[in-house]
Structure 1
Amino acid sequence: MAADTYSDNDSTDTRRAFPDGPWADAEGFDVDRAFETLASAPRRAVLGHLAAVEWEDVDALVDRVAARLPADRETLAVALEHVHLPYLDAVGYVAYDHPWVEYAAPRELDALREAVENRSEAGSVSEDALDVICGLLADPLRRGTLLALDRHGTLNVRDVAAHVAVDHPELTADDVALRLHHIHLPRLADAGAIEYDPETTLATPVLPE
């Protein structure tokens, strides 16, 4: 599967993925950062294990993650120690002081991570597809777009922008429309989440079969 697309079966869950939960309106909880964090199978595996045990040494953590993901252990160890664990420490989801890693994520991230992992465990969405979906949902304009299309069906870009701009008073509807047309709608279309015609500017949600 390509890094930025998913299969037909995966795409049927895209626009309805994780719109509601305790993370949606929690004061001070950065939803963008949470989805960005969860757009990585190794980080999801790390957080899932640490949520259960609270702390772990790096070697044991690498073993746990390697048992879950189809990756070379040595390559995974390097990625965890030099990329993923420093990132998780920087955003405050773990406390990393080699060789120990302690869980520090808020309950809202727990709830969102569990919702994401339930998709994978149910077999409806692959790990690769979850990376893509969470990456798409890491942007508030894309989340708003998917929600608008889910509620209203096919819309032109200006109508989508009008719905999305309600939650973004710092932007005009014209600003949102430009960003949607040139950046976000093409990306959603490339990923198979929607269909978008740049000539007519009509966006259509991909419906479940």
Structure 2
Amino acid sequence: MSSKASIGGDSERDPLTDVPEECYDVLRHPRRIRILATLGARRTRLSLMELTTAIVENEDLDVPTGKARHDVRISLVHNHLPRLAEYDLVEFDAETGAELVDEPPVHPADLAGLLELCEGPEGERMLEAIVHPVRMRVLGMLSGVEHTVSVEQLASALVASDVGADDRERAKISLYHAHLPVLADAGALEFDAGANLVTRGERTTSVLH
């Protein structure tokens, strides 16, 4: 896998660096992350019944078990598994169940950090905010940085890593108007727009590296 530039100048492994950008779209839902994690852990084809049971057991569903199983099964058949199959992450058949494809473009072992972010009622909102090539890179750059950094520093680091823009001014504009406000609204980091300063968020940067 590739390495990522951090504000401090170190390089760390970024599990999602080499994920095709089109796959980010399918990773913005907690249930899909759990499906991939479950299939990756079992390493075998699971029937719809087995996969439904695993998802129900791993989600805090505030409904009776029977209804939860019905709702989860419907979502698997008509939404999540077809979407994962569309992106060549799983093989799915309504009769025989689902399994990971050989050499998937996203490896379940690399999704541990995202799986942790799925916990709680804000999981989907958090994934929607951060699962983006530029935003994931920004959070990775902030990992391990104890001090506040400037938007200019982040912009320079993005240009150096060939992500988001080909010059610092464009990177700075996209950070200021698009990416940092979304990340701040989701609680992934703190952004002082007036001072152009950014502080890492403890929850996200502790699991996304």
What's the TM-score, normalizing by structure 2? 0.70
Deviations 1:41-67 (A, max 9, x none): 322332233220511222332232122
Determine the C-alpha separation between the residues in 1 that align with 2:186 and 2:158: 20
Deviations 1:136-160 (A, max 9, x none): 4422221232233344732222222
Displacement of 1:97 after TM fit?
Answer: 2.1
Alignment partner for residue 111 of structure 1, among 109, 112, 115? 109
Equivalence for 2:38 = 49
Equivalence for 2:90 = 94
Distance verdict in 2 for CA 1:154–1:56, change over 3 Å: same
Determine the C-alpha separation between the residues in 1 that align with 2:151 and 2:14: 30
Equivalence for 2:59 = 69
The one-letter amino acid of 2:100's match is: Y
Determine the C-alpha separation between the residues in 2 that align with 1:113 and 1:36: 14
Count of aligned pairs: 182
Root-mean-square deviation (CA, aligned residues, Å) is 3.1
Equivalence for 2:48 = 58
Secondary structure at the aligned position of 2:91 is classed as: strand
Distance verdict in 2 for CA 1:96–1:20, change over 3 Å: farther
Equivalence for 1:81 = 77
Matched, 1:164 2:162: no
The one-letter amino acid of 2:148's match is: T
Structure 1: 5+ residue stretches without partners? 1-18
The one-letter amino acid of 2:135's match is: R
Displacement of 1:116 after TM fit?
Answer: 4.4
Relative contact order (C-alpha < 8 Å, sep 6+): which is higher? 1
Secondary structure at the aligned position of 2:198 is classed as: strand
Equivalence for 1:3 = none
Displacement of 1:195 after TM fit?
Answer: 1.5
Structure 2: 5+ residue stretches without partners? 1-10, 62-67, 204-209
Q: Percent identity?
A: 21
Alignment partner for residue 145 of structure 1, among 125, 138, 142? 138
What's the TM-score, normalizing by structure 1? 0.70
